[in-house]
Amino acid sequence: MKKIYLVLFSALSLTAVKAQNKFNLLVGTYTNTCQSNGIYVYEFDSTNGSFKLKNSSENVISPSYLSVSADNKFVYAVNENGNQSAVSAFGYDSASGKLKFLNSNDALGADPCHLINDDKNVIVANYSGGNIVVFKKKADGSITEVQQLIQHEGKGPNAARQEKAHVHMVMFSPDKKFVLSNDLGLDKVFIYKYNPDSKNEMLTLKGSVDVKPASGPRHLTFSKDGKFVYLVQELDGTLTTFSYDKTGNLKVIAETSILPKGFTGGTGAAAIKISPDGNFLYVSDRVDANAISVYKILKDGKIELVEQQSTLGKGPRDFAIDPTGNYLLVGHQYTNDIVIFKRNKTTGKIEDTGKRIELCSPVGLVFTKI
């Protein structure tokens, strides 16, 4: 009898391990440059880097960036479409990968480019609109019309790119007490107190931090312990390290450049992510560089360059590391593919697997549980 139990236990354990190694990869795309259905859902196996298409949305306009609810039942997308931009809600069945359109509402700002959600609200950064908007969630996962709009005002030294405010990201602090927002046009990171239960003042300004003039802050990420913030600036490739405390204070403690020595081409720093174990920082750069810089994160929050690798495509707008940390996937907006790199967990280095997911203009990549 003991042997039977052991066999059953082993079989169940093996099934559990297999299940934990498979994830859904959700990909948001642009739909105005080539044939795309919008959002694609792939099953990804983190043991060998294999993948298969499970499902896709239908006729969704440019859902470039996505945010998945904590319970894995809903997906929220920006619809990046100039002055006709919107934000959409979908029901999400992770087993089948099926997305069910729930509703969509006006973004009240042109070209939304990033969003986050919790159980109460969906918060969106409108790039061309230069504002932040907050939608309330309904019980069925759909969203209300905008309940709060915060308009940024001003401009920066780069006349071509900083002619006005350009909000590029919103990000919860680890304890969800604050929302940080990068403004590329103003060279500032704004810190907002977060009041999730408020009806129309979910975000109240705590303060802001200036970064290097004309650097253009784009995306940031928190260290695993929440004590540091790493910010990449799109316009000049600056990478800034801040200390962060639980009262929402940011303080610049270090600055470097992701550009190789002697690099003279065009730059457009894009995504910044930390490995699941918190030991390595990855930053992508577009335009002429088309590379990923890998940094080791030291105990004091400082970073040390490990390597710079070509992403083997053009326009690495976003990338994602699978939850096991085995693979790093880079979406190329202009060469219409996702390149799958194997990741060395000890050194942080990445190596091409030769595997490619071919699809139109991938922009935002998100892993979810199945």
Mean pLDDT along residues 303-322:
98
Q: How far apart are CA 64 and CA 81, in angstroms?
A: 10
Whether 40 and 61 have beta carbons less than 8 Å apart is answered as no
Measured in degrees and rounded to the nearest 5, phi and psi for residue 39 equal -105, 130
List the beta bridge partners of residue 220: 231
SS3 content of the chain, % helix, strand, coil (to 5): 5, 50, 40
Q: Per mean pLDDT, which range of 102-111, 253-262, 320-329 is the poorest?
A: 253-262
Mean pLDDT along residues 133-151:
98
Task: Evaluate the CA torsion angle 200, 206, 211, 213 in order and state its sign.
Answer: positive
The confidence band for 8, taking pLDDT boundaries of 50, 70 and 90, is: very low
Those residues whose C-beta lies under 8 Å from the C-beta of residue 273, and which sit 6 or more positions away, are 221, 281, 282, 319, 320, 321
Mean pLDDT along residues 249-275:
95
Give percent of the chain with pLDDT exceeding 70.
Answer: 95
Assess whether pLDDT exceeds 60 at residue 145.
yes
pLDDT at 7: 46
Cα dihedral: 260, 264, 270, 274 (round 10):
10
List the beta bridge partners of residue 205: 192
- 315: how many CB neighbours lie within 10 A of its CB? 22
List Cα–Cα distances, 299 to 145, 240, 244, 291, 303, in angstroms. 44, 17, 15, 26, 9
Whether 153 and 172 have beta carbons less than 8 Å apart is answered as no
The H or E element that residue 17 is part of is helix 2-20
Assess whether pLDDT exceeds 70 at residue 277.
yes
In the chain, CATH 2.130.10.10 sits at 70-88+103-210
For domain 70-88+103-210, the question of CATH label 2.130.10.10 is answered with: yes
pLDDT at 1: 54
